[in-house]
Homo-oligomer: A and B are copies of this chain.
Amino acid sequence: MIDVIIFGNGNVATQLAKAFLKADDVQLLQVYSRSKPTNFFIKNNINTTNDIKKVKNAAIYIIAISDDAIAAFSKKLNFKNKLVVHTSGSKPITELNCDAHKGIFYPLQSISKNKKISFKNIPICLEAENTKDYLLLEKLAFSISNKVYAINSEQRKRLHVAAVFVNNFTNHLYKIGKDICDTHQVDFDILKPLIVETAKKITQLTPLEAQTGPAVRGDKKTIENHLQLLDEKQQEIYTLITESIIESKRLKTED
């Protein structure tokens, strides 16, 4: 049985707590939160505290608070010889400013508090200072997910920026697609099967292999026609990504 304490009251803290409650071999001993605990914690009779001095003894302490608060918060902790981890994708392990064993427990997913999610398919990226701690984190991670990866702080920084491209920026392209539809009374629903198919395709092909469209075909006429249908900002984005696709194809051909 791994005893776990979570610091935090937000989306990641709540979703992790839900997952740990269902897991075998994990006991969620306590949740620390400065603010009033959410209904979920109350309903499930989870021991909560807002007093750092009343935090119990556990094997792993998980700091699941906003990225910029981690450094200052971790300074308050005094868990010598215990394992303290944070859940941030963008902060290094050195962000933990306490006298404890340090590690990272980073679930890579866009997590909302109230959306039902299954952790089973959410990749969890782990880092620790020594093998013993890593193995303990690994056991905890496998108790809620099938996808566990060893990722160091340098790699995690890159993973985080890559996630911005494939998640945040992709979503903005959906938004532009919807804008174009809306201005011409076209139902955006028509595009949704294509959007889902495009995402699923790269589970079978590399993105380079999966690339289709006028840019990769070198179809200048269609590109010209498309540009005439767009507003200035859309044109800029269209042009830049088209150039980038053409460049990627050139590099591929040279290989």
Interface residues of chain A, those whose CB is within 8 Å of chain B, are 67-68, 90, 108-110, 121-123, 125, 147, 149, 151, 154-155, 157-178, 180-181, 183-187, 189-203, 206-208, 210-216, 221-222, 225-226, 229-230, 233, 236-238, 240-241, 244-245, 247-248
Contacts and interface: CB of A to CB of B under 8 A. Distances in A.
Nearest to A169: B241
Nearest to A208: B175
A90 B222 contact: yes
Q: How many copies does the complex hold?
A: 2
Given A165-B177, A186-B151, A202 B192 contact: yes
A121 B194 CA distance: 10
Residue among A184, A198, A230 with the most chain B CB within 10 A?
Answer: A198
Contacts of A163: 177, 191, 194
Nearest to A125: B190
Contacts of A161: 180, 226, 229-230
B207 A168 contact: no
A237 B169 CA distance: 9
Nearest to A120: B193
